[in-house]
Amino acid sequence: MSTEFTTRASSINRALDQIGDKWCLLIIQEVLWGINSFNDMMAAMGVSRGVLSNRLKWLQAVDCLRKERGPTGSSRPRYHLTAKSIELYDSAMMAIAWERDWYQTPELDRVELVHLGCGKPFVAQMHCASCDGLVQMEEVAYQSGPGVARDVREKKVRRRSSIAITEVPSERALYRNLINIVGDRWTSNLIALSYHGLTRFDQFHQELPVATNILSDRLKLLVEEGVFEPVAYQQRPLRYEYHLTSKGKGLFPWFLTMLQWGDKWCDPQQGGKPVLLTHTACGEPLLAQVRCSECHAELRAHDVRFTLDGEEISA
Ligand SMILES: [Zn+2]
Ligand SMILES: [Zn+2]
């Protein structure tokens, strides 16, 4: 049996194939908040040594972490973000915004984000750089770009683990529900396809030719998580379309940050963007920016202060 298959080139899929595994997403989140030694990560994430070691190697191989010798007197290496992974900050901001909208998360209630630019607590929002309007899923159009192609991808899920993400002990796992939903390559691929208007099993299967039982299982999961709503379109035999719910549509900005990150950092052949996006509200090519809800300035990694119970947890 072949271990490879091809799908339409997509920067979202490329990005997620690099960092979309739930442990990779969690590691990046921990490092963003300053947890950067092996033992601290293991304690924060409740992950086994083997899995953590595997993911750290992987993240270094895709240039999302660099390992440095520990401070003098200590032999423990530390893991740092790279120029590439620091730009995942946008996605972390949109993940937190979505999590606050859809879940009551005790960890998040204890956390406050303050924009240093204006000094106010804020909510991250996604705006169009051209017209300044908020970016909504329904106002984005797609066309083929210069890098349109098919990507050869591995069939097996390399980096899988059975531990439920909701059991992760970290106080900093601020968007664990999002990671739980998207941290599986097939669920995230299905959601991404639904943003292109796909709704039926056969359509999904055509674009994502994995085993049909895997596909059914992930569709079921997305229904259980309230991302898709099944709507019968045929009675005999009974067939469903999978429509995005408001909660599912709410994930769109997070996926858009992944798409933009993938366009920039995950284009190995330098073929250019596979897909071009237009903001139909203004008709301009879409450049989405993550901004502060209070002063509307674009958020940068060092402009945000995180506090947990009033105590600072990030530089
Ligand atoms: Zn616009
Ligand atoms: Zn601000």
Please spell the DSSP secondary structure of 51-62, one letter per residue. HHHHHHHHHHHT
pLDDT digits (tens, 9 = 90+) for 185-239: 899 999 999 999 999 999 999 999 889 999 999 999 999 999 999 999 999 999 9
Q: How high is the mean pLDDT of the chain?
A: 90
1-15, 67-81, 148-162, 210-224: least confident range: 148-162
CA-atom Rg of the chain in angstroms? 20
Which amino acid would we find at residue 298?
Answer: E
In the beta sheet, which residues pair with residue 232?
Answer: 240
Where is pLDDT greater, at 306 or 116?
116
Is the pLDDT at 43 greater than 70? The verdict is yes
Q: Ligand 2: distance of its center to the CA of 113 in Å? A: 10
Is the pLDDT at 16 greater than 70? The verdict is yes
In the beta sheet, which residues pair with residue 144?
Answer: 275
Q: What is the pLDDT of residue 6?
A: 85
Q: Ligand 1: distance of its center to the CA of 254 in Å? A: 18
Q: What is the pLDDT of residue 156?
A: 63
Q: How far is CA 263 from the centre of its chain?
A: 14
Length of the chain: 315
Q: Ligand 2: distance of its center to the CA of 284 in Å? A: 25
Q: What is the pLDDT of residue 314?
A: 58
Which amino acid would we find at residue 149?
Answer: A
Q: Ligand 1: distance of its center to the CA of 94 in Å? A: 18
Whether 45 contacts 23, CB under 8 Å: yes
- Third-level CATH fold of 4-193+257-312: Arc Repressor Mutant, subunit A (1.10.10)
Q: What is the pLDDT of residue 159?
A: 45
Q: Ligand 1: distance of its center to the CA of 167 in Å? A: 40
Give the confidence band of 287 by pLDDT, cuts at 50, 70, 90: very high
* Ligand index nearest the alpha carbon of residue 121: 2
Q: What is the pLDDT of residue 80?
A: 95
Which distant-in-sequence residues (6+ apart) come within 8 Å of 36 by Cβ? Answer: 30, 78, 79, 80
Residue 117's CB is within 10 A of a number of other CB atoms, namely: 17
Q: Ligand 2: distance of its center to the CA of 117 in Å? A: 5
Q: Indicate if the alpha-carbon torsion angle 163, 165, 166, 170 is positive or negative.
A: positive
Q: Ligand 1: distance of its center to the CA of 74 in Å? A: 51
Where is pLDDT greater, at 23 or 5?
23
Q: Ligand 2: distance of its center to the CA of 88 in Å? A: 19
Q: Ligand 1: distance of its center to the CA of 127 in Å? A: 8
Q: What is the pLDDT of residue 160?
A: 46
What is the rounded average pLDDT of the residues 21-43?
A: 91
Where is pLDDT greater, at 30 or 284?
284
pLDDT digits (tens, 9 = 90+) for 216-225: 999 999 999 9
Distance CA(186)–CA(184), nearest Å, equals 6
The token pair at 230 is 């099944």
Q: Ligand 1: distance of its center to the CA of 148 in Å? A: 24
Distance CA(85)–CA(219), nearest Å, equals 30
pLDDT digits (tens, 9 = 90+) for 118-141: 999 999 999 999 999 999 999 999
Which chain residues have CB less than 5 Å from ligand 1, an ion?
128, 130-131, 279, 282
Q: What is the pLDDT of residue 120?
A: 96
Q: Ligand 1: distance of its center to the CA of 294 in Å? A: 20
* Domain layout of the chain by residue ranges: 4-193+257-312
Give the confidence band of 9 by pLDDT, cuts at 50, 70, 90: confident
Residue identified by tokens 């920039």 is 264
Q: Ligand 2: distance of its center to the CA of 160 in Å? A: 39
Q: What is the pLDDT of residue 157?
A: 53
Q: Ligand 2: distance of its center to the CA of 125 in Å? A: 11
Please work out, in degrees rounded to the nearest 5, the angle formed at the alpha carbon of residue 308 by the alpha carbons of 307 and 313: 55
161 closest CA partner among 24, 26, 20, 23: 23
Distance CA(208)–CA(239), nearest Å, equals 19
Q: What is the pLDDT of residue 66?
A: 97
Q: What is the pLDDT of residue 74?
A: 65
What is the rounded average pLDDT of the residues 80-94?
A: 95
Q: Ligand 1: distance of its center to the CA of 119 in Å? A: 27
* Ligand index nearest the alpha carbon of residue 129: 1
What is the rounded average pLDDT of the residues 282-297?
A: 97
12-21, 63-72, 89-98, 306-315: least confident range: 306-315
